[in-house]
Structure 1
Amino acid sequence: MLRSSEFEALLDLSARIGADPELVQGAGGNTSIKEGDTLWIKASGLWLAEARQRDIMVPVALDPLLDALDRDDPAAEKAQDFVIEELNLSGLRPSIETTVHALMPQKVVIHVHCVATIAAAVQTNAAAIAAERLAGIPYAFIPYARPGLPLARAIGERIDADTAVLVLGNHGLAVAADTIEEAALLLVDVSDRFAGLVRSAPAADLPALSRLAVNSAYRLPECEGLHDAATDLESCRIAAGGSLYPDHVIFLGKGSVIAAPEDTALSIEEHFLEAGETLPPLLLFPGKGVLVLKDITAGALAMARCLSDVAARIPASARLRYLTDAENAELLGWDAEKYRQQLNRAGQVLQ
């Protein structure tokens, strides 16, 4: 299929930002371009980092989708009914945030889970932080709403034709422009404005962690940065408070498992199995480091890294807005996210 030069440029940008864990983790984030009446958007469950390795974009009929959104038609939630099948050669499913991209009038939309932005967007005064950091940029702050139709509705109520940046409470960042180059530059500008101090963390106690993992389903992670969420006690305290953003819930479960002083990985494992519950992918041992499941998926591993990266950027004095029990349950019971979880388990396991 013949693609425009702008489409090709979007694939290049998608691959580049998808390879940056400070912007995108695993299958998170999405990009889109509007060409005529067609919205091309990243498929659900696929990785932006693979944009040059495989087909990741899905064609969606833009006007019918917007009409459905105006009518509050539930079909707009998944957007599958609006896929242009004759152009969807790989049979992909649209991103769960297709409606968000459709609502933005600009040609190009880039949605990322920028860790610096998330670190601000989870604070109770996130709207004030955004106002200070984004002075001079036409932006909107969107309080947390579940991705999909609830988020699209919240955005529709708060944007106008000039809005170029969305700061999504407890979620992330979206930028929009009429060219790929402008969108890329805006993403860099906004990300830089949210960048701040990053707390350093002590090194992990690898011998102690190795002992704690004996006879369990857990192991040491290869990435040393994962340990920061546990060795930095401020970050560990933040993690202990609960879930801060949707993809944490989807890939790591509700909140974080913080080991008690007497716990081992095996004792935690036995507790979960006795309760008939799924083993958590990540265990935090305060002051020592973390252990991960031996068969942890790539998506969960990426979100474990994200936890360290976000927590280290949250000031110790910050007051945080955690996702509520109802918001956690809504994410875990949502069909669209169950699809992403299924793809994650089926094709993204680290051996």
Structure 2
Amino acid sequence: MTSAPDTADLQAEMAALRAFSAAVGSDPSLTQAAGGNTSIKDGDTLWIKASGTWLAHALERDIMVPVEMMPLLAAVEADDPAAEQAHRFTIAARNPSGLRPSIETTVHALMRQRVVAHVHCVDTIALAVRTDAVAELGQRLDSFNWAYVPYHRPGLPLAKGIALHRAQRPDVLILGNHGLVVAAESVAEAEALLRTVKQRLRQDARPTPPADTERLSQLAAGGYRLPTSDAAHAVALDPTATKIAAGGSLYPDHVIFLGVGSAVAQPGETPADVQSRIESAPASILFPGLGVLMREDASAGADAMARCLADVTTRIPKGAPLRYLSEDENHELTNWDAEKYRQKLDAAAAKR
């Protein structure tokens, strides 16, 4: 239980949290689209970002949802499936928007500190997808109170994995094949900790040549377009990155917004050829040596994740041992109601 701050202090911290959230949400190296979330505890109430909303919008929209923390924690401890449905613990009278709390609400509730930030930092992910992640991270985080949590599906499975480290009261969590969590007693401390950890985990992306946008534009006729960010092309312009992407799915949000794995065109193929060969219309297609094309109706979330794929894969060294999500892990993400809700919100936002 966290002691309740006075009203003025809470209002000041909430304002600081909104500013912090907007800054994190506007940095694609930390957060992409509706991914990532922040929270603050007010006694037994947990204020957390709503599922499907963007941290980048924190200063212009009401994206925080109040949740009763103690019943939620009791559900986690009892291994109650209700813990997967955080919206059942919202305080309706203080939630006029009717939005659902983040899929990751249990992560924030389990952290004992007052302020928590969960981000999909590309530098972190580039390490967290490796089978030797613990050894690599240990060299960089030796002075921190940190813990590594192997991959679990977001929701109750991930909560149970984090709960194993609760007595340690870590300030930093590295989530295998997923991302980074930092926790502190104030927004300012959480912001400083995030900045320091990100610097410790920094890996420079390999430089790539420019994309052949003229050729890509020719190929795009018939249902595809260029990505919104030129940075997204890098995954197809760096042979190591292309090979890594072709190997499968590395983290959950890729599966949710781009689908399982990556579609890589063979020499001379058009988007129609790729679709015919794999019997689907992928959200993105990698054309080695040329760049990337996005399906015309791809959402803003898909575009953000296309850039994330490039940012992550160009930071992974050639020959690094990798852990891809299994077929079962991909399946449980694509068939999970909580993620279907987030996809629905993303699709609706794309039409505005």
TM over 0.5: yes
The alignment partner of 2:330 has SS state of helix
> Whole-Å Cα distance in 2 between the matches of residues 160 and 202 of structure 1?
48
* One-letter amino acid of the structure 2 residue matched with residue 95 of structure 1: S
- Give 1:304's aligned residue: 306
Report runs of 4+ in structure 1 exceeding 6 Å deviation. Answer: none
Determine if the alignment matches structure 1 residue 332 to structure 2 residue 334.
Answer: yes
The alignment partner of 2:166 has SS state of coil
The 5 A counterparts of 1:1-351 are 4-214=11-221, 216-271=222-277, 275=279, 277=280, 279-349=281-351
Task: Quote the offset at 1:349 in angstroms.
Answer: 4.5
> Whole-Å Cα distance in 1 between the matches of residues 200 and 274 of structure 2?
41
- The question of whether the paired residues in 2 share the 8 Å contact of 1:65 and 1:76 is answered with yes
> Whole-Å Cα distance in 2 between the matches of residues 210 and 38 of structure 1?
51
Task: Quote the offset at 1:271 in angstroms.
Answer: 4.7
Unpaired runs of 5+ residues, structure 2, are 1-6
The alignment partner of 2:53 has SS state of coil
Task: Quote the offset at 1:129 in angstroms.
Answer: 1.2
Task: Quote the offset at 1:222 in angstroms.
Answer: 3.6
- The question of whether the paired residues in 2 share the 8 Å contact of 1:235 and 1:311 is answered with yes
1:23-60: CA deviation from partner (whole Å, max 9, x where unpaired): 00000000000001100000000000000111100000
How many pairs does the alignment contain?
Answer: 345
> Whole-Å Cα distance in 2 between the matches of residues 192 and 228 of structure 1?
22
The worse-fitting range, judged by mean Cα deviation, of 312-321 and 16-25 is 312-321
> Whole-Å Cα distance in 1 between the matches of residues 204 and 37 of structure 2?
27
- Give 2:4's aligned residue: none
- The question of whether the paired residues in 2 share the 8 Å contact of 1:295 and 1:349 is answered with no
> Whole-Å Cα distance in 1 between the matches of residues 246 and 351 of structure 2?
26
> Whole-Å Cα distance in 2 between the matches of residues 227 and 161 of structure 1?
41
* One-letter amino acid of the structure 2 residue matched with residue 335 of structure 1: D
- The question of whether the paired residues in 2 share the 8 Å contact of 1:38 and 1:62 is answered with yes
- The question of whether the paired residues in 1 share the 8 Å contact of 2:50 and 2:63 is answered with yes
- The question of whether the paired residues in 2 share the 8 Å contact of 1:116 and 1:313 is answered with yes
Give the TM-score taking structure 2 as reference length. Answer: 0.95
> Whole-Å Cα distance in 2 between the matches of residues 160 and 248 of structure 1?
32
- The question of whether the paired residues in 2 share the 8 Å contact of 1:142 and 1:155 is answered with yes
Cα 1:349–1:292 change in 2 (3 A) is farther
- The question of whether the paired residues in 2 share the 8 Å contact of 1:213 and 1:266 is answered with no
1:72-119: CA deviation from partner (whole Å, max 9, x where unpaired): 111111211110000001111010010110000000000000000000
- The question of whether the paired residues in 1 share the 8 Å contact of 2:229 and 2:303 is answered with no
> Whole-Å Cα distance in 2 between the matches of residues 325 and 349 of structure 1?
31
- The question of whether the paired residues in 2 share the 8 Å contact of 1:26 and 1:302 is answered with yes
* One-letter amino acid of the structure 2 residue matched with residue 64 of structure 1: P
The alignment partner of 1:314 has SS state of coil
> Whole-Å Cα distance in 2 between the matches of residues 162 and 345 of structure 1?
38
Give the TM-score taking structure 1 as reference length. Answer: 0.95
> Whole-Å Cα distance in 2 between the matches of residues 57 and 181 of structure 1?
19
- The question of whether the paired residues in 2 share the 8 Å contact of 1:33 and 1:40 is answered with yes
> Whole-Å Cα distance in 1 between the matches of residues 166 and 73 of structure 2?
15
- The question of whether the paired residues in 2 share the 8 Å contact of 1:44 and 1:95 is answered with yes
- The question of whether the paired residues in 2 share the 8 Å contact of 1:217 and 1:269 is answered with no
> Whole-Å Cα distance in 1 between the matches of residues 254 and 140 of structure 2?
25
1:204-232: CA deviation from partner (whole Å, max 9, x where unpaired): 11222122223x10012242111101011
> Whole-Å Cα distance in 2 between the matches of residues 348 and 55 of structure 1?
19
Task: Quote the offset at 1:67 in angstroms.
Answer: 1.2
> Whole-Å Cα distance in 1 between the matches of residues 46 and 168 of structure 2?
18
Task: Quote the offset at 1:309 in angstroms.
Answer: 0.4
* One-letter amino acid of the structure 1 residue matched with residue 339 of structure 2: E
* One-letter amino acid of the structure 2 residue matched with residue 4 of structure 1: Q
The alignment partner of 1:100 has SS state of helix
> Whole-Å Cα distance in 2 between the matches of residues 341 and 42 of structure 1?
16
Task: Quote the offset at 1:161 in angstroms.
Answer: 4.4
Unpaired runs of 5+ residues, structure 1, are none
